[in-house]
Amino acid sequence: WPVMFLGLVAIAFLVSGWRPAAITAVMLGTIGLTGEWATSMGTLAQVLVATVMTVGFGVALGVWAAESRIVDRILRPINDVLQTLPQLVYIIPFIYLMPVSQVPGIVASVLYAVPVVIRLVASGLREVSPDTVEAAGAFGATRRQVLLKVKIPLARDAIMLGVNQGIIMVLAVVVIAGLVGSGGLGYDVAQGLQRNAFGLGVVASVAILALGIALDRTTRGRARARRERAL
């Protein structure tokens, strides 16, 4: 685990700077002290897989919704419905449709987190100043160039916020999925409740908290570091 520890801290440093890296180091050290390192890494692997899918779908659909009113009108009610459903509602159907594994939790977490990413990305792109967009068009920029070189760079903070919120929501569902057989830290929490093992439940909960803080600080630190460089 020391190699994984150093690797994750190095990634946090490269992505967000030394402050988030220091917080990540403390949180990972806390996980190591709880004895839940291997289980936490299993949960982290599920979170990373689901996050890649969430960000991929969320950013693509968010950009599409911002650029097309028709797509926005189609996605808006779908997002409203998905965001009003409780987390367990996403998981239960996939448990019956798929074998007991990490897959139901990953699929459910993607469905739960994607609407937030779509909304934040689309909102960030719409908030780009029309004058800036008009000026880019006046200088001969195509619609694609305006999107890639003007809108997306100016909306980067909103996009990073969407990524941050997506990761936290993915973690929440992945942990809940562990309660129903997907393994990971959620499974340890469930075992602590079922066996009346208070210590196991507390240790797993502390590991979940530490993992969430590490992920949150790393992704939020990216946007903060970019703003500091801009100043």
The residue among 55 and 98 whose pLDDT is bigger is: 55
What pLDDT digit, counting tens, does each position of 143-165 carry?
888 888 888 888 888 888 888 88
What domains does the chain contain, in order, with CATH numbers? 2-230 (1.10.3720.10)
Task: Evaluate if residue 120 carries a pLDDT over 50.
Answer: yes
Q: Which residue has the higher pLDDT, 92 or 55?
A: 55
DSSP tally for the chain: helices H, then strands E: 12, 0
**Percent of the chain clearing pLDDT 70 (strictly above):** 90
Of 211, 195, 190, 160, residue with least CA distance to 34: 211
- Above 70 in pLDDT, residue 229? no
- What is the pTM assigned to this prediction? 0.82
pLDDT of residue 163: 87
Query: Does pLDDT of 230 surpass 60?
Result: no
Banded model confidence at residue 106, pLDDT cuts 50, 70, 90: confident
| Average pLDDT score over residue span 23-30 | 87
Choice between 168 and 91, residue whose per-residue pLDDT is larger: 168
Q: Which residues contact 129 (CB under 8 A, 6 or more apart)?
A: 154
- pLDDT at residue 73, rounded to an integer: 92
pLDDT at 70: 92
Among 54, 56, 218, 62, which residue's Cα sits nearest to residue 152? 62
